[in-house]
Amino acid sequence: MVIQSKQNRKIKQIRKLFSHKGRETEKCFVFEGKKLFEEALKSAVPLVGILVARRFMDTNRHQLDAISSEIPVEVVEDHIYDQLSRQKHPEGILCIAKYFDAQIDLKRSQHLLLLDELADPGNLGTIIRTADGVGFDGIICSDQTVDFYNDKVIRATMGSFFHIPIYKTDRFEAFIQKLKQNNFFVCATSLNGNLSQESPMPHHSKNALILGNESHGVRPQIEAICDFSWKLPIYGKAESLNVAVAAGIMMYLTVIGDKK
Amino acid sequence: MVIQSKQNRKIKQIRKLFSHKGRETEKCFVFEGKKLFEEALKSAVPLVGILVARRFMDTNRHQLDAISSEIPVEVVEDHIYDQLSRQKHPEGILCIAKYFDAQIDLKRSQHLLLLDELADPGNLGTIIRTADGVGFDGIICSDQTVDFYNDKVIRATMGSFFHIPIYKTDRFEAFIQKLKQNNFFVCATSLNGNLSQESPMPHHSKNALILGNESHGVRPQIEAICDFSWKLPIYGKAESLNVAVAAGIMMYLTVIGDKK
């Protein structure tokens, strides 16, 4: 049965999952594209449904048949898929997955990234991709950080969303104290911090890097409990760097200290 | 006279300048927001007109009066401004400027950034901001690179568009040869390049870093004429980094070599 109407119950449910409120109600999220679908299959993320455009089914029947005993696959007319899609050039596959509990083992982790009220979905997605790229062990978000289940975030990670554990805590300060008790060196980034071209974090130590909001940076009460406040030197006329670029440079400098 | 209609000639002209075709016809471009307006005033960019919403005029009359003898300022009803605006939260000021010829003096330049067919306006804007932040001397784009006069590019630069010279050339390969004749070390970035944690560019030398398209990287015929192909090591599971993040890390590593 190919879904013919945009009033179909499934279509309406998916439309709700594009909003934060809808996700919080259903404890489910959605993402699109073949690459993310394949990365999700390789991960432990619990897929609960797949919606494909008729054209996608026609060209990927074999792959979809192989999983359809475990995950319900529904087919929809192309034009209805394209209306629903948030992709610029809809590929024709959308996955529905359940919220999951990421585990970050503090005993085994060496490099953690903490995000304090980061607001932009594209920045968050790019930062997740970079944290995966440089081999960080996990990401922890404060509760006012943009929802990482937002489809724009997942898209910008280019699959890294399924590679690196990420979770949100409403006890961000307590979590930092716990890190310190577990021998992590905790470093805030700050435009008022100590200038250093290199990562101030001791090599081969356990450490956590905190980045903040695009406008306001890390909150003062968070910066106050950190071991160090770090500012990258700016040599030109820009007032600051984009937060995802700053995160990339700082994570990279931290990791190469250990790889030398 | 406050503009009352969206059919007004000025409003129609501005709407055209949001498109590449319209800009090429008029050799003018537009950008929005008070911060960019102020950065433009401090720069040599030739402003030819300013459009403000009535609310913006009410609260910034003094500043606008001071420039109105040199630059025509037109006022528009708030709701017409907001319909025209491309900002999420329109501030109420839009500037029209003429295309300009940026000068990059190869004799005085030390660090140049070259962009080969970069496609995304947000990436280009972020890269311009970072190049300014790390103190690069100029940016040169191949002719298939996204138009840097696009308002999304200028917005993402956060003002750096007015700090660092940038231009486009349809003779990209010839420009690279000219750099080499002028003793620049020219380094392409490539996923098939030589792995190096540090910038391969000699310290205190003149050098040029080339980044490519988000999907295809630097074109092979460009990579072939460079002095070096550089790949940043990836320690995690991501296949690659976002190009603006990679640009940030690579420019930073290149510059700190000289600042130590």
**pLDDT tens digit string along B134-185?**
999 999 999 999 999 999 999 999 999 999 999 999 999 999 999 999 999 9
Q: Residue B71: what pLDDT?
A: 96
Is B234's CB within 8 Å of A158's CB?
no
Q: Where are the beta strands (DSSP E) in B55-118?
A: 73-76, 93-98, 111-116
B127 pLDDT tier (thresholds 50, 70, 90)? very high
Q: Give chain A positions within 8 Å (CB) of B260.
A: 197
Across B103-122, average pLDDT? 96
Residues of A in contact with B126 (CB under 8 A): 242, 244-245
Whether the CB of A174 is below 8 Å from some CB of chain B: the reply is: no
Distance from CA of B156 to the nearest CA of A (A): 9
Q: How confident is the model at residue B80 (pLDDT cuts 50, 70, 90)?
A: very high
Confirm or reject contact between B199 and chain A (CB < 8 A).
no
- B159 and A238 within 8 Å at the Cβ level: the answer is yes
Q: Which residues contact A17 (CB under 8 A, 6 or more apart)?
A: A23, A26, A28, A29, A30, A96
B243 near A CB under 8 A: no
Q: The complex's ipTM?
A: 0.95
Please report the pLDDT score of residue B1 as a whole number.
85
Tell me whether residues B238 and A132 touch, CB distance under 8 A. yes
**What is the per-residue pLDDT across A31-60, written as a single tens digit (0 to 9) for each?**
999 999 999 999 999 999 999 999 999 999
SS3 A48: strand
All residues at 6 or more sequence positions from B47 whose CB lies less than 8 Å from its CB, including other chains: B40, B41, B71, B95, B96, B97
Contacts of B156 in chain A (CB under 8 A): 242
Chain B residues with CB-CB distance to A164 below 8 A: 236-237
Does the distance separating the beta carbons of B256 and A130 come in below 8 Å?
A: no
The 10 Å Cβ neighbour count of residue B70 is 8
Q: Average per-residue pLDDT in chain B? A: 96
Could you say which DSSP state residue B106 is in?
T
CA distance A77 to A150: 25
Q: How far is A259 from chain B (nearest CA, A)?
A: 9
pLDDT of residue A247: 98
Task: Give the domain A111-259 fold.
Answer: Alpha/beta knot (3.40.1280)
The verdict on A245 touching B (C-beta cutoff 8 Å) is yes
Whether chain A has a CB inside 8 Å of the CB on B135: the answer is yes
Is A26's pLDDT higher than 90? Answer: yes
Contact B108/A at CB under 8 A = no
- Check: CB of residue A28 under 8 Å from CB of residue A161: no
Backbone angles phi, psi at A91, to 5 degrees: -80, -30
Q: How close A119 gets to chain B, by Cα (Å)?
A: 14
Q: What is the mean pLDDT of chain A?
A: 96
One CATH from 3.40.1360.10, 3.30.1330.30, 3.40.50.2300, 3.30.365.10 for B2-98: 3.30.1330.30
pLDDT in tens, B28-76: 999 999 999 999 999 999 999 999 999 999 999 999 999 999 999 999 9
What's the rounded mean pLDDT across residues B104-124? Answer: 97
pLDDT, position B113: 98
Domain boundaries, chain B: 2-98, 111-259
Which residues on neighbouring strands pair with residue B207, listed in sequence order?
A: B111, B185
Cβ contact, residue pair B259, A235, below 8 Å: yes
Q: Does A166 touch chain B (CB under 8 A)?
A: no
Tens of pLDDT, residues A70-109: 999 999 999 999 999 999 999 999 999 999 989 899 999 9
Q: Which of B237, B254, B260 to probe by mutation at the A interface, max A CB count within 10 Å?
A: B237
Q: Cα A227–A160–B210 angle (5° rounding)?
A: 85
Contacts of A46 (CB under 8 A, 6+ apart): A97, A98, A100
Q: Which of B136, B197, B249 sits opposite A249 (nearest CB)?
A: B249
- Count of CB atoms situated within 10 Å of the CB of A225: 12
